[in-house]
Amino acid sequence: MVTFLNINDYELNMSPEQAYELTMQVAENIMSKEELIEILKNYITELI
């Protein structure tokens, strides 16, 4: 995901620990796709 964002001039502003926890929650089906989208909206920024 980070590579895709960077190629498209976006950046993920999340610590490695936060990214790990988020990944684990998705992998364990603790978090829905909709919840993931809402969280990521707060951490993705456009590079200028």
Q: What is the pLDDT of residue 36?
A: 92
Q: In whole angstroms, how far apart are CA 38 and each of 5, 34, 48?
A: 16, 6, 23
pLDDT at res. 7 = 96
Q: Summarize pLDDT for 1-48 with one digit per residue, the tens.
A: 899 999 999 999 999 999 999 999 999 999 988 999 999 999 999 998
pLDDT of residue 10: 97
Domain count, the chain: 1
Select from 18, 26, 24, 25 the least CA-distant residue to 42.
Answer: 18
Give the pTM.
0.74
Q: Can you give the chain as a three-state secondary structure string?
A: CHHHHHHCCEEECCCHHHHHHHHHHHHCCCCCHHHHHHHHHCCEEECC
pLDDT (0 to 100) of residue 19: 93
Q: What is the extent of the structural domain holding 36?
A: 2-46
